[in-house]
Amino acid sequence: MKTRLNHIRVNVSDINKSLKWYEEILGFECDSAWPPENPTYYDFKSEEGATFAIMEVKDEKSHGRLNFNVDEVDELWEKLKDKVEIVEPLFDTPWGTKKFTIRDLDGNELGFGR
């Protein structure tokens, strides 16, 4: 399977404290936040390659997320769905894409979409 890494998310325990640290200490610039009324997720500006984000997560099993673009997301879902721990089953996103997310053996989340 060929993939293209397009997004990396780090899970954090305190979103406001972490946002301040990434912006003030590292100099990252926020690009967007979700949900708009009380954000628990922030994307940062990037020039090329994978985007980087932080998200407040209270689930101790979840360490981070890597999202990959694949050409045949439906076929990959059918191949994997009965062999892996599912975080999010295959769904249509509000952005016009399709994706699913699984958990690897160490708790890292792997998202696959098109």
CATH of the domain at 82: 3.10.180.10
Residue 49 above 90 pLDDT?
Answer: no
62-100: pLDDT as tens digits: 678 888 988 999 999 999 999 999 999 999 998 899 999
Domain residues for 30?
Answer: 4-113
| C-alpha 92: how far from chain center | 15
Spell 41-75 as b/e; 16+ CB within 10 A means b: ebbbeeeeeebbbbbbbeeeebebbbbbbbeebee
Quick one: pLDDT at residue 19? Answer: 95
Quick one: pLDDT at residue 3? Answer: 83
Residue 38 above 70 pLDDT?
Answer: yes
What rounded mean pLDDT belongs to the chain?
Answer: 89
Number of domains forming the structure of the chain: 1
Residue 17 above 70 pLDDT?
Answer: yes
